[in-house]
């Protein structure tokens, strides 16, 4: 049974090519390490396919399930990327326009489309900047069929016991 389902967001593991798997890979896949991708198909043999990503518009990638990990939405200084937001000590927000190694290009406070300056990640931390985290979606009420539960939670239907 595969640990993933269609629509899951996953992150490509560091050095995935060193992990034993059933499939091959191409060198261009190495450029996707750390990227977040969405699963387009999942097979019972451990193979998964991700939807097109923005670096290779018409390429669908095939992965072994052990080369991927579930996406963690917490943004860290190591995972900071384009379109994330950093917050100054006084609460003013700046958009991340680009990240090159440890250099971060930031926008103006009042105009996220214009370049303002570049800082090293450590400088940002030393100056008291924090990273704005995505707001989680709160679900008040969730109604699922038994089939949806099996699909979403990847469990064998014979192992489900419903409690009241």
All structural domains of the chain with their residue ranges: 9-70, 85-131
- For 9-28, the pLDDT digits (tens) are 888 888 888 887 655 667 77
Residue 67 and residue 47 in contact, taking contact as beta carbons nearer than 8 Å: no
Token readout for 125 is 């931390």
Q: How far apart are CA 62 and CA 25, in angstroms?
A: 8
Please, which pLDDT band fits residue 72 given cuts at 50, 70 and 90? confident
Task: Judge if pTM exceeds 0.75.
Answer: no
The pairing of strands 103-107 and 115-120 is antiparallel
């Amino acid at each position: 049974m595969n640990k993933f389902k269609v629509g899951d967001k996953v992150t490509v593991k560091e050095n995935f090519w060193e992990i034993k798997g059933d499939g091959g890979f191409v060198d261009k896949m190495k450029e996707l390490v750390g990227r977040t991708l969405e699963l387009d198909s999942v097979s019972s043999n451990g193979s998964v396919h991700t939807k097109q990503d923005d670096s290779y518009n018409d390429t669908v990638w095939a992965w072994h399930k052990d080369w991927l990990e579930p996406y963690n939405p917490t943004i860290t200084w190591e995972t900071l990327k384009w379109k994330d937001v950093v917050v100054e000590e006084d609460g003013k927000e700046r958009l991340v326009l680009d990240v090159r190694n440890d250099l971060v290009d930031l926008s103006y406070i009042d105009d996220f489309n214009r370049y303002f300056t570049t800082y090293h990640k450590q400088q940002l931390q030393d100056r008291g900047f924090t990273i704005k985290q995505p707001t989680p979606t709160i679900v008040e009420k969730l109604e699922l069929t038994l089939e949806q539960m099996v699909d979403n939670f990847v469990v064998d239907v014979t192992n489900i016991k419903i409690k009241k």
